[in-house]
Amino acid sequence: MSDAQLSEVIGVEHAANYGVYGARKMWKHLHRLGHPIGRCTVERLMRASGLHGVVRGRAKRTTIPGKDGARAGDLVNRAFTATAPNELWVADFTYVRTWSGFCYVAFVIDVFSRMIVGWKADTNMRAALVTDALEMAA
């Protein structure tokens, strides 16, 4: 079957399923209908046709820029080396989506030993999350 024919079938089936099927579900649906087609081909044809599935829920905004738009400076100039323990610590925080919502984790790492020397996990992204991790490290 040619790409043009497959695009037509995908368009008809996408509309028949209320436009909610993404590439993975459409690929499985087409296999059930007897069209042996690769998932990457379905992705390519759907992208070319401007078709996409429905995403559940709202997007969570996790990064909010400052009012001035300036970013924090690189205080170590990308030199992540240390000659002794506790000479240089680096810190970061991230988030993980769980079944019950987002979990935010802040951690402090000793560059010499590459060990986590302080950490904190919480359900909100406030300054206390980072300061508690720093206090644990200290």
Give the model confidence (pLDDT) of 103-138 as tens digits.
999 999 999 999 999 999 999 888 899 999 999 999
Q: What is the pTM of this model?
A: 0.55
Mean pLDDT on 13-36 = 94
DSSP bridge pairs for 26: none
Q: How many domains does the chain have?
A: 2
Identify the domain containing residue 14 by its residue range. 3-49
